[in-house]
């Protein structure tokens, strides 16, 4: 998992039918130590309803697909990033 910041939303009227009903967000990797984003933004399925500016945990790869709550493999959406937690605080020693 990575920590990311929600930069905005992504809207698509034409998409794979297995993505119907899923909200999508534009996220970018976030460093709590530096309090800034880095790297290229990417699209993540948002199963929790986060909003712009939220700091979130994102699961990537196969783990992201498992979180879709679909029973069979044929209806599993083609997802490689899913927001799995909205973070309230990140505490670390400096």
- Residue at token pair 């990311």: 4
* pLDDT band, very low/low/confident/very high, at 12 (cuts 50, 70, 90): very high
User: pTM to 2 decimals?
Assistant: 0.86
Does residue 62 or residue 21 have the better pLDDT?
A: 21
- The pLDDT tens digits for 24-75 are 999 999 999 899 999 999 999 999 999 999 999 999 987 777 765 555 556 7
d(CA 78, CA 64): 9
DSSP state of 83: E
Does residue 93 or residue 16 have the better pLDDT?
A: 16
* pLDDT band, very low/low/confident/very high, at 21 (cuts 50, 70, 90): confident
Least confident of 60-64, 78-82, 87-91: 60-64
Q: Which domains does the chain have, with CATH numbers?
A: 2-86 (2.40.50.220)
Contact assessment for residue 19 and residue 75, using Cβ atoms and an 8 Å cutoff:
no
Q: What is the structure's pLDDT at 72? A: 58
CA count, 13 A, side-chain hemisphere, 74: 0
Does residue 86 or residue 33 have the better pLDDT?
A: 86
């Amino acid at each position: 998992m990575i920590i990311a910041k929600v930069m905005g939303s992504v809207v698509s009227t034409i998409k794979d039918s297995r993505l119907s009903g899923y909200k999508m967000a534009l996220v970018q990797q976030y460093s709590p130590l530096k309090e800034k984003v880095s790297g290229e933004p990417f699209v993540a399925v948002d199963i929790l309803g986060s909003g712009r500016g939220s700091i979130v945990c994102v699961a990537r790869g196969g783990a992201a697909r498992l979180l879709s709550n679909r029973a069979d493999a044929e209806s599993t959406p083609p997802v490689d990033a899913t927001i799995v937690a909205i973070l309230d605080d990140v505490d670390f020693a400096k």
